[in-house]
Amino acid sequence: MVLMPEDRKLLEPLSSVVSGALRLLVGLLLISFILSLFDNAVPFWSGADHCVTANSSAASSTATDAMFNTAAGARVSAIPRYCAEDPTDQQRLLGLLSAVPYLAFAAGGLVLLNGMLRAAARDGVYTTQTASRLKVLGWWLLVGSLVAELSHATAETALLATLASDVHLSAETVLRQLTAPYLMVLTGLGLLTFARITRAGAAMREDLEGTV
């Protein structure tokens, strides 16, 4: 297969940005981990947030309105954010579990995207391998975002249950805490569609290679 130099140009500027972001992320994680071994003040494992915003709860009153200097005819709704003053190990763990899903999802997505871009730069953009990698990335975004949000909402609800006396961990409270990742789902569907287009392009490129 003839690899055109223009193929590499087609992948910019995303290729450079993703490569740089991944190196930065790995570098920061490494530095943070090493420093946390020597200095407890450096957050790594202990840096998980033990606060949670109760998305489904809101309160309003004249006192709240006065606190936020509302104009006449306006009302303020306050959404509570609960924090543990002296978090227990269980609360720290739940705080960590609420952050890990999205971190893992983002890191995995970056790694898959970087791998796809590097392979496309090496083997060509319009190849069946690129189409397959795009498909994998699309499924990762589609399914991964839903799994990450569900895990995040479940951990947050569990943490909220330890911080608020009227909240109990149940399917209903998890669903109320959940924020549907519409944009990620749409982007995932878009990538799956684009994978099909790329596969068709690969077939056309193969035909073109046999054209004199």
Partner 1 sequence: MPAEADDIHVHLDRLLTDREMTLADLAARVGVTNVNLSILKNGRAKAIRFTTLTSICQVLKCQPGDLLTYCPPSDNSAESS
Look at the block and give the residue holding tokens 């309160």.
59
- At 51, which helix (H) or strand (E)? strand 51-53
Among candidate residues 146, 147, 139, the one with its CA nearest the CA of residue 195:
139
Binding residues for partner 1 (CB under 8 A): 207, 209-212
> What are φ and ψ of residue 66, in 5° steps?
-70, -35
Main-chain dihedrals φ then ψ at residue 121, nearest 5 degrees: -65, -30
Q: 41 or 212: whose CB is closer to partner 1?
A: 212
- In angstroms, give the least distance from the CB of 184 to partner 1: 40
CB of residue 179 to partner 1, shortest distance in Å: 51
Return the number of the residue (13 or 210) whose C-beta is nearest partner 1: 210
Q: Closest approach of Cβ 130 to partner 1, in Å?
A: 21
CB of 1 to partner 1, least distance (A): 13
Q: Which is nearer to partner 1, 2 or 74 (CB)?
A: 2
Question: Which residue's entry shows tokens 């399914």?
Answer: 143
Beta carbons within 10 angstroms of residue 199's beta carbon: 18
> Closest distance between partner 1 and the C-beta of residue 199, in Å?
18
Q: Measured between alpha carbons, how far is 189 from 116 in angstroms, rounded to an integer?
A: 17
